[in-house]
Amino acid sequence: MSKLCIGFEVHQPYRLNSRFDHKNGVKIKDLEKEYFSSKNKEILEKVAGKCYIPATEIVLEGLDNGFKCAFSISGTLIEQLEKWNTDALDLFKQAARHKNTELIAQTYYHSIASLFDDLEEFELQVKLHKKLLKDVFGVVPRVMENTEFLFNNSIARSAKKMGFEAIYSEGVERILDWRSPNYVYTCQGIKVLMRNYKLSDDIAFRFNNREWEQYPLTADKFADWIASVPGDYINIFVDYETFGEHHWDETGILDFLRWLPKECLGRGIEFETPSAISKLEPREELDVDETISWADIEKDASAWAGNTIQKNALKAVQRAKIYAKNKKLWRYLQTSDHFYYMASKFGSCGDVHNYFSPEACSTFSAFEQYMNILSHYEQKFSHRTGSKKTAMILRSVSPDKAFNFWNSQNYTGFSAYSLDDLAEMLNHVPEDSVEYHIQRNDFSRWIGEALGDKKLASVVENCKNRIDLTEAIDRERDLLWKRLK
């Protein structure tokens, strides 16, 4: 008898306010309202009407008739449902109370904290999510999935340390090699449930594709496929918004969801929850020394940290921890969606990124919007650090104040948004660009005017080459960080 484990990713971010003006005076109590889009409520209510309410009503019908499933609901979505659509939240609560449903843990803010230099913040957010599930649904999760299935050996060790029985990962061929995703594995002492991404993506991405050779995908056809697949179980995991939002009701997707349990059960396919699957005997130990995910063809971290601006933003939000007196706002800025919008992908992957990105939001405009808000956040809370003057020097600046590296003719593609960035860029920027800016005294001017460090600006003014410049900046930077910490 085949076993089928179905999981739903349920998430909405707090999208940023594209019209936020860094120059306007904003009181601290109004920051959340100013930083995040007024359209978030409108989007939440639209998705609830098209997906969360009708799809969950269908799921509830199935749960009484042998269907089993798991929900991974982000903390940012739960907050929005509590504020703007309690009807949808009540349906999720009904589902959570059902014996055939399992809620699984993730990061509260659906964040990229597992890509930070250490996993302390990641673990704190998972614990916050566990508490939220207990408070709202009365559930203590036993299984977890990291944001977008980001996974590696270190994340596996953290999940084990936090007491979870199992963690989800993507069934990536280069990790599995000859193995099948349809078995339980272990990694760093914890059970790993591998997503069968081909079957999952048949629903999530190909369901409404009229050029697909298997179109139309019907519940009975999909059930036949499940029944014929070898292995101990099949793990299907998709965005819940697939049902009614990504694919509208007119496509037949909600009927597919309604009929799938009946078609599967009629073929002897048994539905299971993740914790039940985790009790299966594991086949082998996996070594996942690279970071994998369920995103794009690459199935790595490149959807959030694949280009220069994403890496700059990732480093900037980590540095912002020292300013994070309002940790809630800081953590909202870690939500994976913000970084996803900055991706520079092409082909089918680029099409997917464009679909999920806000309207008229280009790669760089998403970055500018993000850095404008992060820079403003650091300025607003600089006075609550050990030294406001030091904090202002070390902060990230808005894109209009960035140091852009040029040579005598062209922009080199390198930009610095902080003193830390400048120190790092000096290790990579072409020599002709460094010489060009030294001759023009641009480094001294930017450090003095944009960062406000008159002392370092005076020292840098006398630097005649890259080595002297790098050493002077590194010395000052180390002293400033020691003073601030």
Cα–Cα dist 350/58, whole Å: 32
Q: Cis bond leading into 216, ω under 30°?
A: yes
Residue 239 belongs to a domain: yes
Q: What is the pLDDT along the chain (485 residues), one digit of tens a residue?
A: 589 999 999 999 999 999 898 766 788 999 999 999 999 999 999 999 999 999 999 999 999 999 999 999 999 999 999 999 999 999 999 999 999 999 999 999 999 999 999 999 999 999 999 999 999 999 999 999 999 999 999 999 999 999 999 999 999 999 999 999 999 999 999 999 999 999 999 999 999 999 999 999 999 999 999 999 999 999 999 999 999 999 999 999 999 999 999 999 999 999 999 999 999 999 999 999 999 999 999 999 999 999 999 999 999 999 999 999 999 999 999 999 999 999 985 544 434 444 444 555 689 999 999 999 999 999 999 998 989 999 999 999 999 999 999 999 999 999 999 999 999 999 999 999 999 999 999 999 999 999 999 999 999 999 999 999 999 999 999 999 999 87
Same domain, 39 and 167: yes
| 299-314 per-residue burial string, b: 16 or more CB within 10 A, e: under 16 | bbbbbbbbeebbebbb
Range of the domain at 11: 3-277
Considering only CA atoms, which of 378, 386, 432, 442 is closest in space to residue 410?
432
Q: Which of 243, 277, 311 is the last residue of a domain?
A: 277
The angle at the Cα of 11, spanning 9 to 13, to the nearest 5 degrees, equals 155
Cα–Cα dist 201/190, whole Å: 26
The pLDDT of residue 195 is 98
Q: Which of 277, 292, 317 is the last residue of a domain?
A: 277
Cα–Cα dist 59/38, whole Å: 31
How many domains does one find in the chain?
2
Residue 294 belongs to a domain: no
Report whether 48 contacts 87 (CB < 8 A).
yes
- Residue 11's Cα: distance from chain center in Å? 10
Cα–Cα dist 156/119, whole Å: 11
Same domain, 273 and 413: no
Task: Please tell me the number of Cα atoms within 13 Å of 483 on its side-chain side.
Answer: 14
Report whether 309 contacts 283 (CB < 8 A).
no
The pLDDT of residue 358 is 59
The pLDDT of residue 395 is 97
Cα–Cα dist 189/166, whole Å: 10
Q: Which of 258, 277, 296 is the last residue of a domain?
A: 277
Residue 299 belongs to a domain: no
Q: Note the pTM of the prediction, 2 decimals.
A: 0.94
* Domain at 161, CATH number: 3.20.110.20
What single letter denotes the amino acid at residue 230?
A: P
Residue 331 belongs to a domain: no
Task: Identify whether 148 is a catalytic site residue.
Answer: yes
The residues facing 138 across adjacent strands are none
Active-site pick, 9, 148, 272, 368: 148
Give the tens place of pLDDT for each residue, 98-109.
999 999 999 999
Same domain, 268 and 399: no
Which residues have a Cβ under 8 Å from the Cβ of 119 and sit 6 or more positions away?
A: 113, 154, 155, 158
Same domain, 264 and 409: no
Query: Cα-atom radius of gyration of the chain, to the nearest Å?
Result: 25
The pLDDT of residue 350 is 39
Residue 339 belongs to a domain: no
